[in-house]
Amino acid sequence: MRIVSLILSLFLMTGGANADPSFWKHEWPQTDFSRTSVENWVEILSGGPAKDGIPALDAPRFIAASQETRLSAREPVVTVKLGETTRAYPIRYLTWHEIVNDTVNGVPVAVTFCPLCNSAMVFDRRVKGDVLDFGVSGKLRNSDMVMFDRQSESWWQQAIGTGIVGHFTGAELVQLPSWMESWAEYQAANPDGVVMDEPDWPRSYGRNPYVGYDGSNRPFLYSGEMPPHGIAPLSRVVRVGERAWPLERLSKVGTLREAGVTISWSAGQASALDSAIIAKGKDVGNIRVRDGQGKDVPHDVMFAFAFHAFWPDGQWMLK
């Protein structure tokens, strides 16, 4: 932990020194830094990799779920269902790529995963008549991935799906219903479904480069306020709009009906941020969120500190 604290201090000092956006203009010549909602540039830090250092994927290949032999039963996948089309995007790939640009049932989508926030969300890539393609900027804000679009090189905050720097400042991406579930759950519900095939990149797919992260006492590269009510910063919460339900509460009751939604929890999904092998991670369970008509509701299962950072006045659904 002493080493992590030292690294964090160095990053924060570097971020402060580079608080002037002119420092980034040589790397981002197309980005309009005069347009931004960021009040303090110190909030934006380098996560280590440069622009596209974490390579987003475009138009991935898919195989039949019945042909997939690499995934273990408890491994997490992001499930997307639009119309009659259902696809699974394994977290073992998203851990190393963070964004997948795809088209599902005619809808251009960005499947995103920020490991440092445990935030997995799917967005419609259509904005103001344009279809955007997203990449990983290498920047973090409140420990959350800052994405960029390749058309204008505007910067986007993944956790809130909003443009924060450049031409699309203030624009909002539409979040689509999706959910994280175990590979076994997906297979059982979609025996004729498809799953994203392994990408052609030299990566240690199936391994977790963030070993023990969700058991840490403090988030990495985060200097903001910690969650209230004594909630552990790296505990998981289910966010629906501006409300957050602690996963610990949900795991005890199984199903909750509150604030117009039904949230269900079931055992069987491995944490992607625990053990060195994702499939061996501790059980964090599967979550589904539905409305009164039984339709899936856009939501996120994220760390508590990230919810508090982006929704400081949000409502904590504690009991």
Q: Give residue-wise pLDDT tens across range 70-109.
A: 999 999 999 999 999 999 999 999 999 999 999 999 999 9
The dihedral of CA 318, 186, 136, 33: what is its sign? negative
Q: With contact defined as beta carbons under 8 Å apart, do 45 and 191 qualify?
A: no
Query: Could you tell me if residue 216 is inside a domain?
Result: yes
- Backbone torsion region of residue 117, taken as left when φ is above 0, otherwise alpha when ψ lies between -120 and 50, otherwise beta: alpha
**39-48, 86-95, 237-246, range with the lowest pLDDT:** 39-48
pTM exceeding the 0.95 threshold for the entire prediction:
no
Cα 216 to chain center, whole Å?
18
Q: In what order do the strands lie in the sheet with 107-114?
A: 57-58, 99-104, 107-114, 119-124, 174-176
Range of the domain at 176: 2-180
Look at residues 131, 164, 180 and tell me which one is the last residue of a structural domain. 180
Q: How many domains does the chain have?
A: 2
Please say whether the beta carbons of 91 and 78 come within 8 A: yes
| Alpha-carbon gap, residue 262 to 255, rounded angstroms | 7
CA distances to 173, 190, 194, 258, 274 from 238, rounded to whole Å, are 20, 24, 26, 13, 19
Give the residue-averaged pLDDT of 55-66. Answer: 98
Claim to verify: residue 56 and residue 176 sit in the same structural domain: yes
φ, ψ for residue 306 (rounded to 5)? Answer: -70, -40
Which of 180, 195, 222 is the endpoint of a domain? 180
Residues 54 and 157 in one domain: yes
Structure letter (DSSP) for residue 56: -
